[in-house]
Amino acid sequence: MTVAKTSVLVLDCAEPLELAEFYAALLGAEIHRGDDPDFVEIIGHRGVHLAIRRDLGHAPPSWPRPEDSLQSHLRILVGRDDLDEAEREVVGLGARPVETGERGGPREVRRYSDPAGHSFSLAVSPAPVTAPPSPDHR
């Protein structure tokens, strides 16, 4: 028997409730607080599930500078026609655009840091892949 599993991306920061409020507003999710004041979960629609954990020694990565590698980042998918509006929303909530030096081509991915310095991006949601008809399908 296989045990049912789910996963949660946990972000470390100095002020978990403040960061949870940022992501809850951005993702249209709810904040769930348990007995541990240093651990907050954000749960929303369509499988959104993040957690924020207090780490008083947290230092955000320096990405995209080469001194530190990108440890992980959250990619938030939006419709192609909604990308500009989503960008206004994240900046209005306190995110900071991250300059990556990429200048060519359409900007289907835009990078930011959240109020605690974690990297995330807004990206155009890929079109659903449709399988070719089966040879037996007539």
Q: What percent of the chain has pLDDT above 70?
A: 72
Query: Which backbone phi and psi does 65 adopt, to 5 degrees?
Result: -65, 145
Expressed in percent and rounded to 5, the helix, strand and coil fractions of the chain are 20, 30, 50
Q: Can you give the pLDDT at residue 103?
A: 57
Please give the average per-residue pLDDT across 94-106, as a whole number.
Answer: 72
pLDDT in tens, 33-83: 988 889 899 998 877 888 888 888 877 766 666 555 556 678 888 888 889
pTM above 0.95, yes or no: no
Q: Can you give the pLDDT at residue 40?
A: 92
CB atoms within 10 A of CB 21: 18
pLDDT exceeds 60 at position 1: yes
Find out whether 63 and 117 touch, Cβ atoms under 8 Å.
no
Q: What residues does each domain of the chain span?
A: 9-124
CATH number for region 9-124 = 3.10.180.10
Q: Would you state the torsion angle of the CA atoms of residues 11, 15, 19, 20, taken in this order, to the nearest 10 degrees?
A: 80
